[in-house]
Amino acid sequence: NAGVTQTPKFQVLKTGQSMTLQCAQDMNHEYMSWYRQDPGMGLRLIHYSVGAGITDQGEVPNGYNVSRSTTEDFPLRLLSAAPSQTSVYFCASSLRTYSQQYFGPGTRLTVT
């Protein structure tokens, strides 16, 4: 099993550009989520999904879009990048919402 994979590892965007952060898992997990991690702020939940076709907002959803068309993939779209979105983004998955989470290696995003 590859576990949870994220691409790209690093990305630099200009303000106003859009992009998609990819996340995939091969463990047949129902629950997937996206977090951002900023210094001193811990992990903050952006969006999550409890199954294919079902998504919901987390604590900091503004400026981000998600969809879950398959069990395996949960991409995160930045609609119009802003410097405030400079952060490290982690994707995670688990069998259930209350189960052990498996994290990807993260994507370090810089918006200039």
Could you give the CA distance from residue 59 to residue 73 in angstroms, rounded to a whole number?
21
Ramachandran assignment for 46, one of left (phi > 0), alpha (psi -120 to 50 degrees), beta (any other): alpha
> x/- contact string, 83-102, with another protein (CB under 8 A)?
-------x-x-x-xxxxxxx
> x/- contact string, 9-28, with another protein (CB under 8 A)?
--------------------
The only residue of 2, 10, 14, 42 in contact with another protein, by rule CB under 8 A: 42
**Contact between 52 and another protein (CB under 8 A)?**
no
For the CB of residue 15, give the shortest distance to another protein in the complex, in Å.
Answer: 25
Single out the residue of 16, 13, 9 nearest to residue 79, CA to CA: 16
Q: Which long-range contacts (CB under 8 A, 24 or more apart) does 55-64 make?
A: 58/33, 58/34, 60/36, 64/34
Give contact residues for another protein (rule: CB under 8 A). Answer: 4, 33, 35, 40-45, 48, 50, 56, 58-59, 90, 92, 94, 96-106
